[in-house]
Amino acid sequence: MGSENTVEEQGTDTPGARSLRLGVAGPVGTGKSSVIAALCRALSEEMRIGVVTNDIYTDEDARFLKAEGVLPEERIRAVETGACPHTAIRDDVTMNLLAVEDLEQDFAPLDIVLVESGGDNLTATFSPSLVDAQLFVLDVAGGGDVARKGGPGIGRADLVVVNKVDLADHVGVDVPQMVDDATRAREGAPVLALSGKRWGTVEQLCEWVRGLHRRHLSGTHVPTDPGPMAPHFHADEEGGYLHSHV
């Protein structure tokens, strides 16, 4: 990696002039890789796509996507983030940024680069210095309450996906209620109920991505930062205190 790369790296940072960089965040196992696989499968005829995966250990997610055969293997790159998956998408994006820039250069022109964050907790969101927009993926198996808990990803990601709705009956989750809760936590911003097993929902996700890509090209999409961890409340004997992470 890197040693043979003598081509100039210049930050092509004018939006629209380079690919749309779309982050996929969310807790462990909610279906981030599956969402990416579904998008690649459904959109690869109409868009030129690259994928960057993040893993704590080795390159599990990249291997999964390669095995799915949704994209030519060389368009899927793994970044190993060490013990801090959230650091790689917010505090220190350099590894991911280089991976994205490499893909854009090696396969120019690309329409979209999807970046999967390593599964983390509800507070991990992408920095706008790495992506133009982000999905935050929850699943019904994590419980219907999660959407109400809010946090920067749920509250302010460009789209919240409530995944695995095919399992709702098995885990006793009321999907319309969960979508409602998320919509309220987001003050009306979009929420999509998704299942990889239901084509119609995947098509809705694709429509959202197409719309975003059009706005990116026309320069009307404004990247927003869901923000770092919001100040939150810790209960203690004195009745609690507000606590903010920087």
Partner 1 sequence: MTHGTAGLLLLADGRLPAGGYAHSGGLEAAVRTGRVRDTADLGRFLTGRATTTGATNAAFAAAACAALRGAGADAEPGEEQQTLTRLAVLDTELDARTPSPALRRVSHALGRQLLRALKAVNPHPLQQRMQQGPNHPVAFGAGAAMLGLTPVDAARGVLHESVSGPSSAVVKLMSADPFDAYRTIAELRGLLDEIAEDAAGRALDHPEDLPSYGAPLSDHLAEDHETHETRLFAS
Which listed residue (19, 33, 163, 195) binds Mg ion by CB under 5 A? 33
Judged by CB under 8 A, the stretch of 24-32, 74-82, 107-115, 195-203 that binds partner 1 is: 74-82
Selection from 236, 242, 239, 122 nearest residue 182 by Cα: 122
CB atoms within 10 A of CB 2: 6
Please report how close the Cβ of residue 243 comes to ligand GTP at its closest, in angstroms. Answer: 26
Q: What is the x/- site pattern for Mg ion, positions 45-74, by CB under 5 A?
A: ----------------x-------------
Binding-site partner at residue 91 among partner 1, Mg ion, ligand GTP, none, CB < 5 to 8 Å by type = partner 1
Give one DSSP letter per residue of 174-243, joined into a string.
-HHHHHHHHHHHTTT--EEE--TT-HHHHHHHHHHHHHHHHHHHHT--------SPPPEEE--TTS-EEE
Which CB sits closer to ligand GTP, 85 or 128? 85
Give yes or no for residue 11 binding partner 1 (CB under 8 A). yes
Which CB sits closer to Mg ion, 32 or 75? 32
Please report how close the Cβ of residue 93 comes to partner 1 at its closest, in angstroms. Answer: 7
Give yes or no for residue 32 binding Mg ion (CB under 5 A). yes
With CB atoms as reference, the residue minimizing the distance to ligand GTP is 119
CB atoms within 10 A of CB 167: 15
Size of site (CB under 8 A) for partner 1: 28
Q: What is the x/- site pattern for partner 1, positions 37-66, by CB under 8 A?
A: -------------------xxx--------
Q: Would you say 220 is a known binding-site residue?
A: no
Q: Is 9 left (phi over 0), alpha (psi -120 to 50) or beta?
A: beta
Binding-site partner at residue 11 among partner 1, ligand GTP, Mg ion, none, CB < 5 to 8 Å by type = partner 1
Please report, as a single letter, which amino acid is at residue 28: V
Which residues partner with 115 through β-bridges? 23, 52
Q: Would you say 123 is a known binding-site residue?
A: no
Q: Would you say 27 is a known binding-site residue?
A: yes
Provide the binding-site residues for ligand GTP, judged by CB under 6 A. Answer: 28-34, 61, 119, 163-164, 166-167, 195-197
Instruction: Report the binding-site residues.
Output: 26-33
| Interface residue list for partner 1 (CB under 8 A) | 1-11, 56-58, 80-84, 87-88, 91-95, 97-98
Instruction: Report the binding-site residues for GTP.
Output: 26-33
